[in-house]
Amino acid sequence: MSAKGSILIIDDEQEIRESLTELLTMEDYRAQSAPTAAEGIQKLSAEPFDVILLDCNLPDANGIDVLKTIRRDAPDAAVIIITAYDSSQTAFQASKEGAESYITKPWDNDKLLLEVRNLVEGSRLRAENFQLRRALKRFGLPNIVGKGDRIQKVLDLITQVSPSRATVLITGESGTGKELVAKTIHALSTRADKPFVPVNTGSMPVDLLESTLFGHVKGAFTSAFVTKRGLFEVADEGTIFFDEIGTVGPELQAKLLRVIQEREFMRLGGTETIKVDVRILAATNSDLKRLVDENKFREDLYYRLNVITLNLPPLRKRKEDIPALIDHFLVKYCAENNRSKMSFTPEAMKVLVDFNWPGNVRELENAVERAVVLSSGPVAGIELLPEALTRDCVGRGEAVLFSRSNGESLFEIVEDFERRLILDMLARTEWSQTEAADRFKIPLSTLNQKIKRLQIDVKRGRSNGSAHN
């Protein structure tokens, strides 16, 4: 069992050091002591302490001066000044220099322990807040883009659950960002400096997945030439993330349940029990409760995983976030492709916002990246959007594809639309004119004539993709 907190006692009286050490140790605190200011500062520089019990009169320094040093070198540690004289002046100075509390000898043990407990809890909270601030700068919530009510509720829940060690089940359709949420929870947790280990359970055969998770001993199976650690050992003290947990088979479900309950497992073919401290995050786009009812998923494992559920809304239910997501991806892919700042035309933006997005955020990101790569200028129009988006608009009878500025003739509108169709097909065939002509069911020579007449720059398209014809 881990200690409640770490306490440093700096006092020149041996009897006081020993009695305080015994008192605190009996209450499950880890206590160290030092008879001088110099030795106390040395211990403080070697490791962090939650609370420091500091005598006001030390043989080699004044306690208030030592307090100033502590405040400079260990600002997160809480300090209790101990003195034999109840002096209001000393209490004022101690408070002014940042001491959290002030007690006189002899003291009441119960009151002292209550004070220590409160200060340890406050120190731990400050440490967690520091972790949160650091993680927000390094990774943080800004990567989860959106200001709508639905996504804000998700962000609030992420902030609440991250500092705990609770198991979190992340649900949502494919492409909603479940792994991004899992990474954010890890980054905002006290385990942020430890490994984050993702496992796609749906992409591996059962026997390989078991060996991957738990490791194996030499000779466990034909190709096991050496003993190998599994991902649970790799993730020790960190976080392991199971993507598509609903695809795990019954036998492996039982072993996962044991790890969650007992925090231990055996390597494949081994007899030694290995202890681990791993936080488990899981994600699924399946209805696990339905799988339980169909006897395809263990009920006890379901309830172990479903301690906290975090449901990610599909993009079609948070359309107010689409413009912000588009801006985010434009910045990202312009930087990756050494492009200057870009935007979409109003018509293209309308298509992007109105589309149903069955692939959710991932599909939107792909559409924006495609437009950045294929565009020849700072503004991307409808012609650079995937066919699925524009076909959807036409299928609903919308005129958005043909929304043009005033004064253009029918011929100009049709010509522009033809240019867009050809560009889209060339992009989807990796700029193979032969394949594009086959898909259009026209002779290659006809397509070449149209490309010349419409002044389509096939060379630029090839420079951004494959160049076969």
Q: Are residues 294 and 337 in the same domain?
A: no
In a domain, 136, yes or no: no
In a domain, 57, yes or no: yes
pLDDT at 127: 59
**99, 131, 163: which is the final residue of a domain?**
131
pLDDT at 326: 92
Q: Are residues 243 and 285 in the same domain?
A: yes
Q: Are residues 436 and 304 in the same domain?
A: no
What is the CATH number for 295? Answer: 3.40.50.300
Could you write out the three-class secondary structure of the chain? CCCCCEEEEECCCHHHHHHHHHHHHHCCCEEEEECCHHHHHHHHHHCCCCEEEEECEECCEEHHHHHHHHHHHCCCCEEEEEECCCCHHHHHHHHHCCCCEEEECCCCHHHHHHHHHHHHHHHHHHHHHHHHHHHHHHCCHHHCCCCCHHHHHHHHHHHHHCCCCCCEEEECCCCCCHHHHHHHHHHCCCCCCCCEEEEEHHHCCHHHHHHHHHCECCCCCCCCCCCECCHHHHCCCCEEEEECHHHCCHHHHHHHHHHHHHCEEECECCCCEEECCCEEEEEECCCHHHHHHCCCCCHHHHHHHCCEEEECCCHHHCHHHHHHHHHHHHHHHHHHCCCCCCEECHHHHHHHHHCCCCCHHHHHHHHHHHHHHHCCCCEECHHHCCHHHHHHHHHCCCCHHHCCCCCCCHHHHHHHHHHHHHHHHHHHCCCCHHHHHHHHCCCHHHHHHHHHHCCCCHHHHHHCCCCCC
**pTM confidence score:** 0.56
Q: Are residues 108 and 200 in the same domain?
A: no
**Distance between CA atoms of residues 394 and 74, nearest Å:** 65
Q: Are residues 123 and 150 in the same domain?
A: no
Q: Are residues 118 and 31 in the same domain?
A: yes
pLDDT at 298: 92
In a domain, 33, yes or no: yes
**Distance between CA atoms of residues 295 and 397, nearest Å:** 45
Q: Are residues 166 and 60 in the same domain?
A: no
In a domain, 324, yes or no: yes
pLDDT at 7: 92
In a domain, 390, yes or no: yes
Q: Are residues 209 and 324 in the same domain?
A: no
**313, 346, 368: which is the final residue of a domain?**
313
Q: Are residues 217 and 112 in the same domain?
A: no
**Distance between CA atoms of residues 108 and 13, nearest Å:** 18
**97, 131, 165: which is the final residue of a domain?**
131
Please count the structural domains in the chain. Answer: 3
Q: Are residues 101 and 198 in the same domain?
A: no
What is the CATH number for 71? Answer: 3.40.50.2300
CA-to-CA dists, residue 117 to 5, 22, 81, 108, 160, angstroms: 9, 16, 16, 14, 23
Torsion angles phi and psi, residue 328, rounded to 5: -60, -45
pLDDT at 120: 83
The low-confidence residues of the chain, meaning pLDDT below 50, are 1-2, 137, 139-142, 394-405, 463-469
Q: Are residues 164 and 279 in the same domain?
A: yes
What is the CATH number for 392? Answer: 1.10.8.60
Q: List the domain range (segments joined by +) for residue 245.
A: 145-313
pLDDT at 90: 67
Q: Are residues 231 and 300 in the same domain?
A: yes
In a domain, 407, yes or no: yes
In a domain, 469, yes or no: no
181's tokens: 């949420």
In a domain, 357, yes or no: yes
